[in-house]
Amino acid sequence: LAPNPYPETSCIALMEALAAGLSCIVTARAALPETAQGFATLVPIVAADDPELFVQPLDHAAFVAAARTVIADRLATPSAWEERLQAQRRHFLQQYQWHQRVTAWIELVSKNR
């Protein structure tokens, strides 16, 4: 569970959790949906794309409801979840390797010299 009101530009913790095969429930805020690549459960937040708003109230009940739904579904369909989490793990291990991330940063820094 990651009830995060901060306007993330990316989230290494989310990448690592998804690569580890965890079921993630995160705020649908800033770059978190993009980082999750459709694999995390997203909980809406009022000002999802406002880069100036750093603190805003979170609907904790929405996170509880999302967690209950995920847990119930995992208990009801364990084999489907296992397949999904294996696909998620493969995707993140292929797409979010450090050498891929560092190359993009080196290119960005090199252009701005």
The predicted pLDDT at position 85 comes to 97
pTM for the predicted model, two decimal places: 0.82
**Cα three-residue angle 16-98-21, rounded to 5 degrees:** 25
Report CA-CA distances (Å) from 83 to 11, 33, 70, 87: 24, 21, 15, 6
What is d(CA 63, CA 44) in angstroms, rounded to the nearest whole number? 9
Give the amino acid at 68. Answer: R
The predicted pLDDT at position 99 comes to 76
For residues 70 and 23, is the Cβ–Cβ distance under 8 A? yes
Per-residue pLDDT for the chain (113 aa), expressed as one digit of tens each?
988 888 888 888 999 999 999 999 999 999 999 999 999 999 998 888 887 777 778 899 999 999 999 999 999 999 999 999 999 999 999 988 777 778 877 888 898 77
For residues 42 and 32, is the Cβ–Cβ distance under 8 A? yes
